Amino acid sequence: MASSLVVPVIDVQNENFKELWPAMVVAIKTASFVALDTELSGLGNRKSLLAESIEDRYKAICHAARSRSILSLGIACYKKLDQKPADSYLVQVYNLILLCSEEYIIEPQSVHFLVQHGFDFNKQYGHGIPYCKGNNKGGADDRGVHIRALFTELLRARKPLVLHNGLIDMAFLYQSFYAHLPERLATFTADLSEMFPAGIYDTKYVTEFELRLSASYLEYAYKKCKLDNGRSVGSGTTGPHVHIEFCQYAGHMSTYVDYRECPAVASVDEQTDICQHFSAFGWCPNGTKCPLSHDTDRIILQDEKNKEDKWKKRKRQREKKRSEGEGSSIFDGAPENKIPNMEVDPEDPPGDQRGTVAEMCPDGLPAMDSDGNTPQSEGKSLETDSKGNSVCDENVTIASIDDSQNTKNNTNDGKSGVGSGTGAGREKTNNRSAGIETQKKNADAGTHRAGFDAFMTGYIFAYSCTVIRKEEAREADKEEEEEEQSWLPTCLNKVYLSGKAAPLNVVKSTFSKSSKAHMQKMEMVWGGSFSFSLTIICVISVLAC
């Protein structure tokens, strides 16, 4: 059994923002892809956010983004390492504490949830990085050291953007750091397609429609991917596996790091009283008063056991039919490993996707993404996506902490590009060092961080690219694809929509135009190259007509 994973999350505040600026810019520019996550002050009317009409949903999201604010922003930069085994990444994680300089609504249930999960509002109000929403407030976006300029650097980097259930994230990012949101959804998606030419990926969509996990809220999906990846590494099977490395830093830089420790998944008893509502959706209406288990590790292992039991039951039924000469013709000529997926247990509903089943609360109201255990929590996602509880990892490559470092250095870790130390991590297979114990004592008591959520989102994406590419290569009997083709083409620019069978496609259609504010922004971001590209597009369109 491999050891725990310790993820260094760099805490960025107003006092150290300028100092860490070069590291963040370098991390973004050199990343293979960037994962983002936000913590919000509220979402507004829940029914409107889950309206049947997608256009009505967008209007509700716009209202929330204009009247609420981003409290913290998580950025996880994943850089693929060339001189390492396939699918090895150097990961840098930043948690930016933000403070909107304008009036905004903060909802009581949002405060309650965030405080329960360790969010420090004193730190936010005392040390948050100030920003103004909308168009060019508080200085030009391309000059100075501020959060809007950092978002501009993200656009200029032209990296794939990865989110989890990211429609609301993108709307808040647009309104907070870019420009006023356009009135129409088609205009918004047209703008996004040009802002992120390398593509947008939603791991909520990936886990539901590609990996087809039993549940798809963030904590579950992350732990499941980690567990499966660890088992694959431990079994010694051929093919790529996801390996994670972190940078190490000494000196005062280590004081900026909050370590998120994730103990390895341990086996549990077969009989466990698991809360079925939390198991399916990642939150429970009873919250902490629920007497049943909300342990995601137990939930995953229980799901795996149930799946294995169903498979054994179907195998027995299949063998019985064959022995009686009553084999079904639908299996004739089918590969042996595909037959179990073709069979349907009459006692089960079609599919095993609990997360996609009419995500409704007991009282009939739509279930909100909780980022925790309560439907009122304001993490931002709408469906049932629980994000931010303490997360466990197993069998991964992590940064090794040098036992010879002093206590202060061991209590914190750092980011690349700043300070001393650029050594990549090594796999820990022994007991925890004394330094790790010190880190645990000095880490913040809370478990909910936008930075760590961004790390989980990025890991799900990295693992999904690895396992899906491996499956495609096996079926096609061909070599692994190159890095440029290693992302998920079937998930490109598809954003998950709660309660909908189809995603939102982030594209610019022939019937939609980019917003005027966006055109002005992109001229500033790309300069002459953007104008030239638009001219070419217009010429091609005219010739086509």
pLDDT tens-place string over residues 332-378 = 554 454 454 445 454 444 444 443 333 434 344 444 443 433 343 33
How far apart CA 340 and CA 513 sit, in angstroms, is 47
Distance from the Cα of residue 79 to its chain's centroid? 16
Q: Is the pLDDT of residue 88 over 70?
A: yes
So what's the pLDDT on residue 337? 47
So what's the pLDDT on residue 354? 44
CATH number at residue 532: 3.30.420.10
CA 348, 350, 352, 355 torsion-angle sign:
negative
Domain membership of residue 357 (yes or no) is: no
| Of 447, 456, 455, 385, residue with least CA distance to 167 | 385
How far apart CA 230 and CA 243 sit, in angstroms, is 10
End-to-end CA distance of the chain: 63
Mean pLDDT taken over the chain: 75
Domain membership of residue 14 (yes or no) is: yes
How far apart CA 47 and CA 375 sit, in angstroms, is 13
So what's the pLDDT on residue 332? 52
Summarize pLDDT for 39-49 with one digit per residue, the tens: 999 999 889 99
How far apart CA 9 and CA 94 sit, in angstroms, is 6
So what's the pLDDT on residue 478? 53
Residue type at 122 in one-letter notation: N
How far apart CA 176 and CA 104 sit, in angstroms, is 12
Domain membership of residue 318 (yes or no) is: no
Domain membership of residue 302 (yes or no) is: no
How do strand 129-131 and strand 88-100 relate by DSSP bridges?
parallel
Asked if residues 527 and 201 have their Cβ atoms less than 8 Å apart, the reply is no
So what's the pLDDT on residue 393? 40
Summarize pLDDT for 299-344 with one digit per residue, the tens: 777 777 776 666 666 666 777 777 776 544 545 554 454 454 445 4
Summarize pLDDT for 175-229 with one digit per residue, the tens: 999 999 999 999 999 999 999 999 999 999 999 999 999 898 999 999 999 988 8
| Of 223, 245, 197, residue with least CA distance to 507 | 197
| DSSP letter string, 485-503 | G-S-GGGTTEE--TT-SSP
pTM of the model: 0.74
User: What band does 483 get if pLDDT is binned at 50, 70 and 90?
Assistant: very low
Summarize pLDDT for 380-432 with one digit per residue, the tens: 444 444 443 333 343 333 333 333 333 333 333 333 334 333 333 333 333 33
So what's the pLDDT on residue 375? 41
CA 163, 165, 166, 169 torsion-angle sign:
negative
Domain membership of residue 37 (yes or no) is: yes
As for how many domains the chain has, the answer is: 1
What is the arithmetic mean of pLDDT over 437-463?
A: 72
Domain membership of residue 520 (yes or no) is: yes
Q: Is the pLDDT of residue 497 over 80?
A: yes
The four Cα atoms 11, 12, 18, 22 give a dihedral, to 10 degrees, of 70
Domain membership of residue 185 (yes or no) is: yes
Q: Which residues contact 436 (CB under 8 A, 6 or more apart)?
A: 6, 259, 261, 401, 410
Q: Is the pLDDT of residue 284 over 60?
A: yes
Asked if residues 24 and 109 have their Cβ atoms less than 8 Å apart, the reply is no
| Of 182, 201, 163, 61, residue with least CA distance to 506 | 201
Provide the domain limits for residue 201: 5-263+447-477+484-541
Domain membership of residue 189 (yes or no) is: yes
- The H-or-E segment that residue 95 falls in is strand 88-100
